[in-house]
Amino acid sequence: MCQSPSDAGKYQRLRVGVQMAVIMLVEDELLIAMDLYEMLEQLGHEVDGPYMTVAQAEDALRSDLPDIALLDAQLRDKEVDEVARRLHEAGVPIVFHSGHVREVEYTKRYPGSRFCPKPASPTDIVKAVNQQLDLSKSRLDVT
- Tell me which residue range forms the domain holding 76: 19-137
3-state secondary structure the chain: CCCCHHHCCCCHHHCCCCCCCEEEEECCCHHHHHHHHHHHHHCCCEEEEEECCHHHHHHHHHHCCCCEEEECCECCCCECHHHHHHHHHCCCCEEEEECCCCHHHHHHHCCCCEEEECCCCHHHHHHHHHHHHHHHHHHHHHC
Residue 143 lies in a domain: no
pLDDT tens-digit readout, 70-104: 999 889 889 999 999 999 999 999 999 988 767 67
pLDDT at 58 over 80: yes
Residue 58 lies in a domain: yes
Residue 142 lies in a domain: no
- Total number of domains constituting the chain: 1
Residue 13 lies in a domain: no
pTM of the model: 0.82
Residue 77 lies in a domain: yes
